[in-house]
Amino acid sequence: MKKLSELLEKRWFANLVALSGAVAVYLLLLHFSSVTGWLKSVWKFLNPIVIGLILAYLIDPIVVFIEKRIFGKMKRDGLRRTLAVLLGTFFTLCVIGFLSFLIIPSIVATVREIVGRSDELIGQAHVLLERINSSELGISLSWDDVTGIIEQRFGEFFNLLTGNLNSIVSRLTDVGSITINVLIGIILAMYFLLGKKRLLGGVEKLRRALLPPDKYEEHTDFWRRSNDILIRYIGCNLLDALIIGAANAILMLIFKMPYVVFISVIMTITNLLPTFGPIIGAGIGALFLLIQNPILALIFLIFTVVLQFADAYLIKPKLFSTNLGIPAVWTLIGTILGGKMFGIPGVFLAIPVVAILTIIYKEHFLPWLASRHSDKIEIIH
């Protein structure tokens, strides 16, 4: 490291590094499609491993809790760890299965009900058209005009569907591939959890070999803080979403609204996504209630707004207890970029990732720049 810093002080070497970087960027831009294609193929190959690591990271706190609280008195370490991993994985799969059991039958029942009430909905649409035509708004619509618009839109949708049939089939194939990757990821996650001590031990030896003692302590502290941020954010976010979902279900039962389970589960899931999630959930819930009763949809939107204000100013500050220190604009930018690059997981993890990058910027990058600046001043003097 010292030799490298000494070389960087020499102008010819710094210019060489800058020129090499410029050539590398030019080649990257020139062959951008080839590079992105290569990255996608690499990502496709590594996808099950990445899924396994993520699942292992998420399940590990449950496994640690079970290992200490339930099997803590067991003397055989290997057996205790194996039972904890099996029970923790089984518990996680049961939770996912329970949520699927709640939401899928509810979606099917909702669709059946809407289809069964199609004649009633058409009658309500006739009445609404009559009211619009008889009002003083100066709007005149006939049922033929409405059905013509609907037929036109359905025709456009059908043409779009047939024109993109290959893409749709490819997407369905991707869904099957994702399912297989998730199943492989679950198996790999169990292996990662079973070999956690050995894997972490290997990483520990590598860090000690590569880093000097002071850098090792600094590096350890950084990873500990990053892990605390991720665990605290994920745990508190899950608890917050469950509280909002339960509160939503209670209010819907009080106002005797339909689709309680379905809409409450949707609100719970969408509340996990920062910034835009609650808006999406409120829109979906209001849309289904609008078909049933517009007044109920309006009441739902009102108490959803109240719930979100309570969540933003009362529940989340209590759960998270300390501010992550991220400016609102960076939260928004991180959420958008995370969604564009990695989809829903990117949106979900945008805030903790931005918080970790903020730590790197403030505590490592800025001090490094300051030290570089002071070194140059000393050289000039």
Instruction: Give the C-alpha separation, 351 to 354, whole Å.
Output: 5
Map tokens 């997981």 to a residue. Answer: 345
Q: What is the pTM of this model?
A: 0.64
Residues 187-227: pLDDT tens digits? 998 998 898 888 888 888 888 888 888 788 888 888 888 88
Instruction: Give the C-alpha separation, 341 to 351, whole Å.
Output: 15
Length of the chain: 381
Instruction: Give the C-alpha separation, 234 to 230, whole Å.
Output: 6
| Better-predicted residue by pLDDT, 329 or 1 | 329
What residues contact 168, with CB distance under 8 A and at least 6 apart? 161
Instruction: Give the C-alpha separation, 270 to 279, whole Å.
Output: 8
Q: How far is CA 329 from CA 275, 316, 335, 351, 354, in A?
A: 11, 19, 10, 11, 11
Domain ranges in the chain are 47-210
Check whether 269 has a pLDDT greater than 60.
yes
Give how far the C-alpha of residue 224 lies from the chain's centroid of Cα atoms, to the nearest Å.
22
Check whether 2 has a pLDDT greater than 50.
no
Choice among 288-292, 332-336, 377-381 with the minimum mean pLDDT: 377-381
Residues 138-178: pLDDT tens digits? 556 565 665 666 556 555 655 665 555 555 555 555 556 77
Of 18, 224, 43, 46, the closest CA to residue 26 belongs to 18
Residues 58-68: pLDDT tens digits? 888 889 889 88
Q: 265 with 253: CB under 8 angstroms?
A: no
Question: Rounded mean pLDDT of the chain?
Answer: 75
Check whether 113 has a pLDDT greater than 90.
no
